[in-house]
């Protein structure tokens, strides 16, 4: 970045009751006050797109909904300097869901979990405009659970009521659902959601619903008076939730669902139902303070200054003239926009009717699946995850072995899902990469001690490569005892690098995997004991619990069952060789919801 102080212009959409406009204001607030640049502010509409050309850089809050009328391809041609945009709607590691990858010089993505190889894409922390100082909290006689957001699909207000019903005999649930310019201007959906929440609450649970459109300061104060701020979204759309920004700034305890929209929160706070609301009240306030520090306005501003260093800035024009950005032929209020608006409203009404039950029950039909596992474990786990309503399943297969044959994860790969396969056998790794190109295949071992970076790997011949192991005792057993009178000979011993299972999860997943399969011939329990259950809580584990005694007979490894029980899991199903363990909190919540559905 040049030594001179740069001048920039922040270009926002016109003021409206929606999170896109407010996010723009928050970003502008975080960027203001730098000693390395000054920043002016303007809002544009299709009728007012005049932009001065006297600036070194231009920072847009471009969004497909609020600026659908703007011809973004014209921006580079018309404006001098560096053209940038913030990006709100982003899938994991894909910032170009709703914007072109070539219309701006830089894309500042408000997703701290983003990992992109593109040189013009930059991950940013969330824009917490106010930092540090928490709102004074007045303790309540009964817990006050707060949630807020527009009446758009998947906000999960009904799930909040269900969770409070389950855990408390007496509580207050505060919900604020303001009317939204681009979603529910009439307030019809907000009113219906309010009534639904009140109808779901059991005796002893007071539900107070408001529809106030609050300023950021008012919203932070509102969150600051809640015992717990709770967001249990179940939506399926790109982007991170903006609601948690104000909740975090308030400094109060926080809990979210495991929905992908909260993936940035899950690095810090275990999601519901992997921890209960009561546990979140007790345990999460310190984590919220940690997030405040990580996403402070100062760090946001510093990150932007780092981005500016990547660009060379032109000499400022003499007597610069203003230009008008290009507006697309179809104007707001035109036929195409009206059709889109009607479709959007119809979709929201349909989603609401599904939640409230206006249209009756929606039945899910699933086709019987072919099993690739040794004893049908994959089909059992597939049905279980469907019942738990876990979608877009992420899997980790430690000791993946063959791409299809006796694989616990190939069924999910066949469905178009993706995961991480760890296999120390280089020959099998090549097969895995060839037959499962969409999976991430890692050629190393998973260790049992962070101080040990490599170990001997005992490789058996191809016909018995499933016996290959890092355990010297296990290899010796197969050589000396074998099975059914047949002994197996180690073909060679090779030195292999080791990484911890926590390293694999933190570096190769944007959030915790839903399903973990471990089959490592003797090291299963040792690896599990290194797993950070405080940080990660997969829904399901499948682990080999069948063991062979010195005389060749078999037994169950009860210590694995005991270990999982101590970590909040229970044995859901045993097959001949493996046991499927399920997170008890998650399964209890599923049973509770099922009971509630049956009662109604």
Give the model's pLDDT for residue 341: 35
Give the model's pLDDT for residue 520: 83
* Longest CA span, the chain: 93
pLDDT tens figures, 143-173: 999 999 988 778 999 999 999 999 999 999 9
**Low-confidence winner among 375-384, 459-468, 547-556 (lowest mean pLDDT):** 459-468
Q: Which CATH class is domain 144-295?
A: alpha beta
Is residue 474 within 8 A of residue 546, CB to CB? The reply is no
Residue 339 has pLDDT above 80, yes or no: no
Q: Which CATH class is domain 375-591?
A: alpha beta
Give the model's pLDDT for residue 435: 94
pLDDT tens figures, 417-442: 999 999 888 888 889 999 999 999 99
Distance, in Å, from the CA atom of 407 to the CA atom of 443, rounded to the nearest integer, reads 17
Give the model's pLDDT for residue 460: 77
Residue 190 has pLDDT above 80, yes or no: yes
Residue 320 corresponds to which tokens in the numbers above? Answer: 């610069």
Is residue 25 within 8 A of residue 58, CB to CB? The reply is no
Is residue 9 within 8 A of residue 51, CB to CB? The reply is yes
Quick one: which of 167, 385, 381 has its CA closest to 275?
167
Domain 6-128+297-324, CATH: 3.40.50
Residue 277 corresponds to which tokens in the numbers above? Answer: 């609301």
**Residue 398 backbone phi and psi in degrees, to 5:** -95, 115
Distance, in Å, from the CA atom of 403 to the CA atom of 395, rounded to the nearest integer, reads 14
Residue 176 has pLDDT above 90, yes or no: yes
Residue 347 has pLDDT above 60, yes or no: no
Classify the C-alpha dihedral 552-427-425-376 as positive or negative. Answer: negative
At 86 the three-state DSSP class reads strand
Question: For 88-98, what is the mean pLDDT?
Answer: 81
Mean pLDDT score across all residues of the chain: 84
Backbone angle region of 361, left / alpha / beta, with phi > 0 → left and psi within -120 to 50 → alpha: beta
Give the model's pLDDT for residue 182: 60
pLDDT tens figures, 106-133: 999 999 999 888 999 999 999 987 644 5
pLDDT tens figures, 31-41: 998 999 999 99
Is residue 512 within 8 A of residue 540, CB to CB? The reply is no
The DSSP output letter for 590 is H
The distance in angstroms from the start CA to the end CA of the chain is 63
pLDDT tens figures, 474-528: 777 777 766 656 677 777 788 888 889 999 999 999 889 999 999 887 788 999 9
Residue 371 corresponds to which tokens in the numbers above? Answer: 């099993």
Distance, in Å, from the CA atom of 403 to the CA atom of 280, rounded to the nearest integer, reads 40
- Domain range annotation of the chain: 6-128+297-324, 144-295, 375-591
- Name the burial class of residue 300, with classes exposed (0-12), middle (13-18) and buried (19+) by CB atoms within 10 angstroms of its CB: buried
At 395 the three-state DSSP class reads strand
pLDDT tens figures, 349-374: 333 333 333 322 223 334 445 789 98
- Buried-state track 400-424, b at ≥16 Cβ within 10 A, e below 16: bbbbeebbbbbbbbeeebebbbbbb
Q: Give the number of residues written for the chain.
A: 600
User: CA dist 362 to 155, 349, 395, Å?
Assistant: 19, 15, 28
Write down the pTM of the prediction. 0.62
57-60 and 82-87: which strand pairing?
parallel
pLDDT tens figures, 209-238: 999 988 888 999 999 999 999 999 987 677
* Helix and strand numbers, DSSP H then E, in the chain: 18, 25
């Amino acid at each position: 970045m040049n030594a001179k102080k740069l001048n920039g212009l922040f270009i926002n959409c016109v003021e409206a009751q929606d999170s896109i406009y407010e996010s723009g204001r928050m970003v502008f607030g975080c960027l203001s006050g730098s000693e390395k640049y000054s920043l002016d502010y303007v809002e544009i509409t299709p009728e007012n797109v005049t932009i001065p050309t006297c600036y070194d850089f231009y920072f847009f809050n471009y969004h497909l909904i609020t600026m659908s009328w703007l011809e973004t391809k014209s921006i580079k041609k018309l404006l001098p300097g560096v053209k940038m945009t913030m990006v709100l709607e982003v899938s994991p590691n894909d910032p170009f869901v709703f914007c072109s990858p070539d219309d701006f010089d830089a894309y500042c993505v408000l997703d701290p979990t983003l990992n992109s190889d593109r040189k013009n894409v930059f991950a940013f922390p969330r824009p917490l405009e106010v930092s540090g100082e928490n709102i004074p909290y007045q303790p309540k006689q009964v817990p006050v659970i707060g949630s807020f957001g527009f009446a758009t699909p998947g906000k999960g207000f009904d799930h909040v009521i269900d969770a409070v019903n389950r855990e408390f005999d007496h509580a207050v649930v505060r919900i604020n659902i303001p009317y939204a310019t681009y979603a529910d201007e009439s307030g019809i959906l907000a009113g219906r959601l309010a009534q639904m929440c009140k109808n779901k609450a059991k005796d002893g649970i007071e539900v107070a619903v408001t529809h106030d459109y609050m300023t950021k300061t008012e919203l932070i104060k509102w969150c600051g008076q809640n015992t717990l701020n709770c967001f249990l979204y179940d939506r399926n759309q790109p982007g991170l939730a903006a609601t948690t920004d104000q909740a975090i700034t308030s400094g109060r305890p926080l809990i979210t669902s495991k929905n992908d929209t909260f993936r940035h929160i899950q690095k810090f706070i275990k999601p519901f139902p992997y921890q209960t609301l009561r546990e979140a009240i007790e345990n999460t306030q310190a984590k919220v303070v940690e997030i405040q520090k990580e996403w402070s306005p100062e760090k946001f501003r510093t990150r932007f200054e780092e981005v500016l260093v990547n660009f060379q800035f032109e000499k400022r024009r003499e007597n610069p003239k203003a230009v008008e950005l290009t507006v697309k032929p179809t104007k707001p209020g035109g036929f195409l926009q009206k059709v889109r608006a009607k479709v959007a409203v119809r979709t929201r009404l349909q989603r609401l009717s599904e939640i409230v039950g206006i249209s009756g029950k929606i039945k899910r039909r699933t086709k019987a699946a072919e099993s690739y596992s040794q004893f049908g474990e994959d089909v059992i786990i597939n049905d279980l995850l469907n019942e738990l309503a876990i979608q877009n399943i992420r899997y980790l297969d430690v000791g993946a072995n063959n791409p299809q044959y006796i694989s616990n994860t190939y069924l999910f790969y066949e469905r178009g899902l993706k995961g991480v396969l760890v296999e120390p056998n280089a020959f099998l790794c090549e097969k895995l990469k060839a037959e499962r190109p969409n999976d991430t295949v890692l050629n190393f071992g998973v260790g049992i001690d962070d101080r040990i970076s490599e170990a001997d790997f005992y490789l058996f011949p191809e016909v018995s490569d499933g016996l290959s192991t890092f355990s010297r005792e296990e290899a010796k057993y197969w050589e000396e005892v074998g099975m059914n009178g047949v002994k197996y000979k180690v073909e060679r011993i090779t030195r292999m690098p080791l990484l911890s299972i926590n390293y694999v999860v933190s570096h190769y997943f944007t959030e915790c995997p839903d399903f973990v399969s471990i089959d490592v011939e003797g090291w299963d329990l040792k690896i599990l004991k290194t797993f950070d259950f405080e940080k990660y809580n997969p829904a399901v584990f499948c682990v080999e619990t069948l063991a062979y005694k010195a005389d060749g007979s078999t037994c169950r490894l009860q210590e694995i069952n005991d270990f999982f029980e101590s970590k909040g899991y229970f044995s859901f199903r045993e097959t001949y060789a493996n046991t499927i363990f399920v997170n008890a909190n998650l399964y209890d919540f599923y049973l509770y919801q099922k009971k509630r559905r049956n009662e109604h």
